[in-house]
Amino acid sequence: MSDVILSGRGLTKRFGGLVAVREVDIDVPRGEIFGLIGPNGAGKSTLFRLVAGIMAPSAGTVMFDGHPLTKKSPAAICVDGVVATHQIVRPFRTMSVLDNVTIGAFFGRRPQPKGREHARAIATEVLERCGIADRAQKPARELNLAGQKRLEIARALATDPKVILLDEVLAGLNPTETDRTLDLIRSIRAGGTTIVMVEHNLRAVRGLCSHLMVLVEGRKVAEGLPDAVLADPTVIAAYLGTSVHA
Ligand SMILES: Nc1ncnc2c1ncn2[C@@H]1O[C@H](COP(=O)(O)OP(=O)(O)OP(=O)(O)O)[C@@H](O)[C@H]1O
Ligand SMILES: [Mg+2]
Please tell me the distance from the alpha carbon of residue 120 to that of residue 140, in angstroms, as a whole number.
16
- Cα(244)–Cα(246) distance, rounded to whole angstroms? 6
- Coil/strand/helix, residue 123: helix
0.85 surpassed by pTM: yes
pLDDT 10s digit of each residue in the chain, 246 long? 469 999 999 999 999 999 999 999 999 999 999 999 999 999 999 999 999 998 999 999 999 998 998 778 888 888 889 998 876 656 677 899 999 999 988 888 888 889 899 999 999 999 999 999 999 999 999 999 999 999 999 999 999 999 999 999 999 999 999 999 999 999 999 999 999 999 999 999 999 999 999 999 999 999 999 999 999 998 988 876 555 554
- How far, in Å, from the CA of 168 to the mean position of ligand 1? 14
Ligand 1 center to 158 CA (angstroms): 28
**CA-49 nearest atom, ligand 1:** 18
Residue 92 in contact with ligand 1 by CB distance below 6 A: no
- Domains in the chain, CATH or no CATH each: 1-81+161-246 (3.40.50.300), 91-153 (no CATH)
Q: How many CB atoms lie within 10 A of CB 178?
A: 18
How many angstroms separate the CA atoms of 94 and 245, rounded?
Answer: 41
Ligand nearest to the CA of 22: 1
Ligand 1 site, residue 45, Cβ cutoff 6 A: yes
